Every structure is written in C-alpha cells, then in structure tokens.
C-alpha cells in the first residue's frame, strides 16, 4: 500500500483558493499481479534475460541497452538505437519505478510490465527478432536457461509468457525510495533546502501535481494530453505534435497527443526530455510545461526553485549485481 506521511496545504494563487494536497512517499516494494508473484528465482532469471543481447536478432541489443540500470534507467539519447544502428522516433522512458506506472510505453499501449516486455523483442527497429517462437527456440538451446526457467517456473517452462513474467518480476525490484523528498515527507525537515521547499510548494500552487501526483509523481490517471496549449513557436523548435501519441496505435482522432504521464522520480538523471527527446535541459522542460500545459510564463526564479525540488526526487538506487549469462558451447547464433 502507498504510504501517506504528511499533508501540506498549498495556496492556489489564482482566486486564492486553499487546496489540500497529499505528498506521498515511494513504497519500497511494488505490487505484483496474482498470476506472477515475485520470487527470487523469477527475478534472477528476469535479470539474465533483461541483460542478454541474444534476445535480439543481431546479438547486440538487450533491454538494458536502452534502459540502463547503471544510469537513470534509460540511455540519455533523444532516440534509442536498436539493431543495425536503427533509431525510432521516441526517447526511452526510464525503467526505474516503472512498476508504479498505470500503463507502459510512452503511448500507454501496454497495460502491464509483462505486456510491455514482449514488445521490443520483436520490434524491427528495436531488437528485431522475427517472432517470439524464434526467441523461445533460441533459449531452449541454451542449457543454462533450461535450468533457470525450471527453477523459476518448473519443468519445460521456456515460453514467451514465462520469459516476459520473469523480466517483469525483475523490473518490479527496480525501485528508488529514500530520496531527499521522501525523507522530508517522513519528517526530516533538514532533508530539503529552502529553495527545494519553495519549488515543492510552487508545483502544488501552479497545479503541476494535478497530473504528477502520487508516490511516483505519475498521476491519478493513465493519460494526459500534451501539449494542451497550441504554440507555433515552440512547435517549430521541438515538433511535439509530429507524433500523435496513443492515436498512432488506436487510429482514433480523440486519442491524438495523449501520452502516459511520466514519473518525475529521478528526472534529473534522464535528460533529454519529452516523448521525442527534443529538450536537452530540465530548466527548459519546466519552462515548456508551464507554458504549454498551464498557460503560464514562469520566472527564472520559479523555474530554478522547481528544478531544485525535482533534483530532490533522485532516490536511492538498489545495488545491481550483473548476472553471469548462460553460455553456449562452441557455437554462435549469428
């Protein structure tokens, strides 16, 4: 269960309306679905699969290539690079705290981590395998995976369903609690600077937290329109509307420019910003959000305060011990 430690009152200056907003700390464990309880064996198998480039057609790209757990959970590139040097049109979202997303992918087309884990493997630009049948056939030839799947799921368990369950189980361990913000909400008033507290209060006052709420700062609902405000000047620079978001999947006009509300956790580490990775700095991202989502021209001081607070959302990263991948004896797949 999400823990609510303190309640702060922010004054919404427009109309001087007093608004109560709950600041919540990040749980240290993520809930798992009923059909995929988290076990040590699943997590270890999932870690192996997540870091294994042999799940790609060229043997060069793994999940970790674009969602690097040695960094902020992504690759700090505007557009991630897949097999044969191909790049797509979107920036890789962070895997850290993805267990708390209501939907997955920028366009929210996957309802769960399990569903998300299946997609990149057969995407021709990302990992490029022709089918999951080919992936399963490859895994079955690797003795170490036969052992690992059996430990996690039982005999003859190598399948797409179990592979994605294992990857999802591993991803549910990628949680970054105990940020300065969390410590502050828990009662340590020295955890944030005066500037960071101003930024925290300013976010609530402006209405940023109407979308970026909850323990992971990713909102009460799954989707939000971006950009809300039309601005030809910024559109010419950043091309936000070139990609239609959820409508690219559903082909419905009403879904145009709907995006998953991204977490603000560890956002200081995940530049560049927005779905197309077109914004290089956090300061510019805050300025644009004020203008395009709230219709406000934020001052330099307000932007600096908010950025200072966002820096305080960088949490404690669990130590990652890289797996030893099961080898193949005297053969290669490529």
**In a domain? residue 327:** no
Residues 182 and 164 in one domain: no
Residues 113 and 239 in one domain: no
Tens-place pLDDT, residues 269-326: 999 999 999 999 999 999 999 999 999 999 999 999 999 999 999 999 999 999 999 9
Q: If we measure between CA atoms, which residue out of 48, 213, 61, 217 comes closest to residue 126?
A: 61
Q: If we measure between CA atoms, which residue out of 240, 218, 269, 264 comes closest to residue 76?
A: 269
**Any catalytic annotation for residue 143?**
no
Q: Is the pLDDT assigned to residue 13 strictly greater than 90?
A: no
**In a domain? residue 331:** no
Per the structure, the count of domains in the chain is 2
Q: If we measure between CA atoms, which residue out of 174, 177, 171 comes closest to residue 314?
A: 177
Residues 123 and 215 in one domain: no
Residues 167 and 180 in one domain: no
On whether the CB atoms of residues 23 and 10 are closer than 8 A, the answer is no
Which candidate in 24, 126, 205, 302 is catalytic? 126
**In a domain? residue 324:** no
**How would residue 330 be classed by pLDDT, with cut points 50, 70 and 90?**
confident
**In a domain? residue 106:** yes
Q: If we measure between CA atoms, which residue out of 263, 267, 259, 262 comes closest to residue 306?
A: 267
Q: Which of 132, 154, 171 marks a domain boundary?
A: 171
Q: How many CB atoms lie within 10 A of CB 26?
A: 26
Domain that holds residue 202: 3-26+176-311
Residues 167 and 181 in one domain: no
Q: Is the pTM of this model over 0.85?
A: yes
Tens-place pLDDT, residues 66-92: 999 999 999 999 999 999 999 999 999
Q: Which of 139, 171, 203 marks a domain boundary?
A: 171
CATH of the domain at 288: 1.10.760.10
Residues 59 and 183 in one domain: no
Q: Which of 171, 196, 219 marks a domain boundary?
A: 171
**In a domain? residue 318:** no
């Amino acid at each position: 269960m999400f823990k609510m430690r303190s309640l702060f009152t922010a004054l919404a200056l427009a109309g001087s309306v007093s608004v109560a907003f709950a600041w919540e700390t990040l749980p240290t464990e993520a809930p798992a679905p009923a059909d995929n309880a988290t076990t040590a064996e699943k997590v270890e198998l999932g870690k192996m699969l997540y870091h294994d480039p042999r799940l790609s057609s060229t043997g060069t790209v793994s999940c970790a290539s674009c969602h690097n757990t040695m960094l902020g959970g992504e690759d700090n590139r505007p557009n991630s690079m897949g097999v044969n040097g191909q790049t797509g049109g979107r920036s890789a979202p962070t895997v850290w705290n993805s267990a708390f997303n209501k939907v997955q992918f920028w366009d929210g087309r996957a309802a769960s981590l399990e569903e998300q884990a299946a997609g990149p493997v057969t995407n021709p630009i990302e990992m490029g395998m022709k089918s999951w049948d080919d992936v399963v056939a490859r895994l079955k030839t690797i003795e170490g995976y036969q052992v690992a799947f059996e430990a996690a799921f039982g005999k003859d368990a190598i399948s797409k369903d179990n592979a994605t369950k294992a990857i999802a189980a591993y991803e549910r361990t990628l949680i970054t609690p105990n940020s300065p913000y969390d410590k502050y909400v828990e009662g340590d008033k020295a955890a944030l600077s005066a500037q960071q507290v101003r930024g925290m209060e300013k976010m609530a006052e402006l209405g940023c937290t109407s979308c970026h709420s909850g323990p992971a700062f990713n909102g009460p609902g799954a989707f939000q329109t971006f950009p809300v405000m039309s601005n030809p000047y910024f559109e010419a620079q950043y091309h936000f509307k070139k990609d239609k978001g959820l409508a690219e999947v559903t082909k419905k006009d009403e879904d145009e420019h709907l995006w998953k509300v991204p977490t603000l956790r560890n956002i200081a580490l995940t530049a560049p910003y927005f779905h197309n990775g077109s914004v290089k700095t956090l300061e510019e991202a805050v300025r644009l959000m004020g203008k395009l989502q709230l219709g406000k021209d934020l001052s330099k001081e307000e932007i600096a305060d908010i950025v200072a607070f966002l820096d305080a959302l960088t949490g404690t990263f669990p130590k990652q011990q890289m797996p030893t991948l099961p080898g193949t004896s005297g053969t290669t797949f490529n």
